[in-house]
């Protein structure tokens, strides 16, 4: 295993800054995911770690050793790409053996290692099949074990599941995490899929505009976003601009909210509120006097399978609400409802902490 340290790392392509002063430590055996939209710098950052790109400034360390000038073939990592990159003229055994031969394994060691890694992904007996005889999921599993077969210290994965259909993606992400945990290999994974990142990572690094927006566990990233970009990109959120008045938050459209995190804000100071749609409750219309309880009207209904998303109008403020079960049977459009928002579920974001939120 290796620890990876990125110190003030930047990469420019002409006048474009793809990676901007990134500092990050990936601990030994840790599974880190770089998450962000297209063009945010996550793949460029992965390529810098691999050595496919040279940094414009900053430092890359593997176990304290600076590797900026170390060539790709000497960095001792395995890499899995979105495109599988299997040799079409070689069978599964030869595809896996290719890297093992370069690494100096003997013929006997190669046979034993091929059998061992195929067992890891439950593809025993597939040694003689060529890529065109495999499904997309099987090819990606072969690409994964080919990368780990030479026992690298680091595993890098660049959107390895984005070409697969939804069910196979869910299955394979579980397999990737199981194998990573079994091998305790230091892993950096790139994706734009928020659910994927939350499901498999020890920590998630959310990126935008070449910068790190937030680093944290999946629970921290989802429940405690540090700015509006993270709140809006990871999952869905109601984002409300507010001003502090009499220890409460008043939205631009006149909704007054009690917020448990308000300590530290000054009277008349502006802030942003993030409220996850699943944390908003519908309560009995006779409920009165309860904190953060408002009358609303259902404007739109979207059935999303596991939840039904309701868009409700509270005065001049529009809110998304995610409901489960039979609650939705009572909600035709233009139906009057009573909405309750727990104060402890409202996350307060300072205006000065909305880095690149646009």
CATH number at residue 310: 2.40.50.140
Residue range 199-226, pLDDT digits in tens: 999 999 999 999 999 999 999 999 999 9
Q: What CA–CA distance (Å, rounded) separates 20 from 207?
A: 10
Evaluate if residue 121 carries a pLDDT over 80.
yes
The pair of three-digit structure tokens given for residue 279, joined into one six-digit string: 């944390």
* Confidence at residue 356, expressed as pLDDT on a 0 to 100 scale: 44
Which 3 state secondary structure label does DSSP give 141? helix
Which CATH number belongs to the domain containing residue 262 in this structure?
2.40.50.100
pLDDT one-digit tens code per residue, 151-184: 999 999 999 998 888 899 999 999 999 999 999 9
| Residue 139 sits in the same domain as residue 79 | yes
List of residues 6+ apart from 16 with CB closer than 8 A: none
Number of domains in the chain: 3
Question: 129 and 20, same structural domain?
Answer: yes
Residue 283 lies in a domain: no
Residues 226-255 have pLDDT tens digits of 999 999 999 999 999 999 888 889 998 889
In a domain, 72, yes or no: yes
Helices (H), the chain: 42-50, 92-102, 107-120, 136-148, 166-183, 194-200, 218-223, 228-233
Q: Average model confidence (pLDDT) for the chain?
A: 91
Domain span at 146: 4-230
* pTM score above 0.85: yes
């Amino acid at each position: 295993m290796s620890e990876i340290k990125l110190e003030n790392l930047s990469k420019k392509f002409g006048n474009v800054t793809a990676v901007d002063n990134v500092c990050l430590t990936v601990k030994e055996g840790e599974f880190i995911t770089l998450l962000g939209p297209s063009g945010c710098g996550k793949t460029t950052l992965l390529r810098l770690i691999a050595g496919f790109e040279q940094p414009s400034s900053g430092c890359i360390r593997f176990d304290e050793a600076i590797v900026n000038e170390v060539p790709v073939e000497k960095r001792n990592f395995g890499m899995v790409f979105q495109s599988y990159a299997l040799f079409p003229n070689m069978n599964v055994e030869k595809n896996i053996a290719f890297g093992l031969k370069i690494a100096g394994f003997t013929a006997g060691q190669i046979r034993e290692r091929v059998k061992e890694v195929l067992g890891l992904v439950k593809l025993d007996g597939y040694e003689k099949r060529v890529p065109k005889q495999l499904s997309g999921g099987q090819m990606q599993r072969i690409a994964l074990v080919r990368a780990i077969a030479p026992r690298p210290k680091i595993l890098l994965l660049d959107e390895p599941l984005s070409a697969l259909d939804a069910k196979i993606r869910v299955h394979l992400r579980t397999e990737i995490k199981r194998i990573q945990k079994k091998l305790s290999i230091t892993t950096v994974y790139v994706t734009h899929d928020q659910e994927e990142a939350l499901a498999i990572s020890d920590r998630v690094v959310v990126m935008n505009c070449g910068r790190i927006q937030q680093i944290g566990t999946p629970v921290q990233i989802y429940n405690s976003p540090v700015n509006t970009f993270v709140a809006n990109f990871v999952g869905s959120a109601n984002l409300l601009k507010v001003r502090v008045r009499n220890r409460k938050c008043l939205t631009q459209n006149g909704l007054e909210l009690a917020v448990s995190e308000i300590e530290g804000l000054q009277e008349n100071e502006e802030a942003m509120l993030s409220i996850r749609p699943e944390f908003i409750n519908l309560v009995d219309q006779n409920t009165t006097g309860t904190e953060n309880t408002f009358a609303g009207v259902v404007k739109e209904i979207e059935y999303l399978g596991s939840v039904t998303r309701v868009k409700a109008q509270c005065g001049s403020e529009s809110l998304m609400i995610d409901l489960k079960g039979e609650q939705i049977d009572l909600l035709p459009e233009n139906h009057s409802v009573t909405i309750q928002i727990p104060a402890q579920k409202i996350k307060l974001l300072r205006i000065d902490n909305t880095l690149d939120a646009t």
